[in-house]
Amino acid sequence: MKILDFLHKDTILVNLKSYDKKGVLGELAAPVAQATGLDPENLVGVLMERERLGSTGIGGGIGIPHGKLKILDSLTLAFGLSRKGVDFESMDGRPTHIFFLLVTPENSTGVHLKLLARISRLLKNDHFKSKLLNAEDSDEVLRIIKEEDEEF
C-alpha cells in the first residue's frame, strides 16, 4: 500500500494559515470535501468528534487527524504544512507542522489502520520530515513522498 495511491495534488496544502485545531481541520477538509462531494462542515464535525476521543497530534510536530464516514466511497488523504506550527494538543505539547488527514468509508477499518501505520512509519524518519517541512509546493511534496514510499 502506497500513500500516493490515495494522496493527490489537489488535496495538498503547503501553507496552512490557521492557528488552532478546528481551523486546520477546516482548511484540510475543504479540498477533500471538494474532491469527494462531501459537506465540508459535516467532515469537520466528524474530525472534531474523533479529536474529542484524544488528540491525533502524535508529537514530533506531526498530526494525523482521521475519521470515518458512511457516505464516503473510497479512502481519501490530504496533506498540510503549517510553517509556523499549530497548537494541536499534541502528546508532547509542542506545535504541529506536518498533517496527514485520512478519511475513510465506515466499513474499511483494515485499510484505514494500514495507511495510518504506513504514514506513522514514514514520519519516524527525521530526514523525510525535514524534507517535507521545507517543501515549497505540492509537486515537491509528491516527489518527496514518492521517493520514500518506494523504499518501503
Q: Cβ distance 25 to 33 under 8 Å? A: no
**Other CB atoms within 10 Å distance of the CB of residue 5:** 11
User: Residues 7-33: pLDDT tens digits?
Assistant: 999 999 999 999 999 999 999 999 999
**Other CB atoms within 10 Å distance of the CB of residue 30:** 16
pTM (2 d.p.): 0.94
Q: Cβ distance 28 to 78 under 8 Å? A: yes
Place 150 in a pLDDT band, splitting at 50, 70 and 90: confident
User: Residues 61-91: pLDDT tens digits?
Assistant: 999 999 999 888 889 999 999 999 999 999 9
- Active-site annotation holds for 8: no
Q: Which of 8, 66, 112, 127 is catalytic?
A: 66
pLDDT for residue 109 is more than 90:
no
Q: Cβ distance 57 to 20 under 8 Å? A: no
User: Could you tell me the CA-to-CA distances from 141 to 107, 131, 134 in Å, in that order?
Assistant: 29, 8, 9
Residue type at position 93 = G
Residue type at position 38 = L
- Map out the domains of the chain as residue ranges: 3-151
Overall average pLDDT of the 96-117 stretch: 90
pLDDT at 4: 92
Task: Please report the beta strands in 1-151, taking only residues with DSSP state E, as ranges in sequence order.
Answer: 7-13, 57-59, 62-63, 66-69, 76-86, 96-105
User: What is the sign of the dihedral through the CA atoms of 78, 81, 82 and 88?
Assistant: positive
- Correct CATH for 3-151 of 2.40.40.20, 3.40.930.10, 1.10.357.10, 1.10.510.10: 3.40.930.10
pLDDT for residue 143 is more than 70:
yes
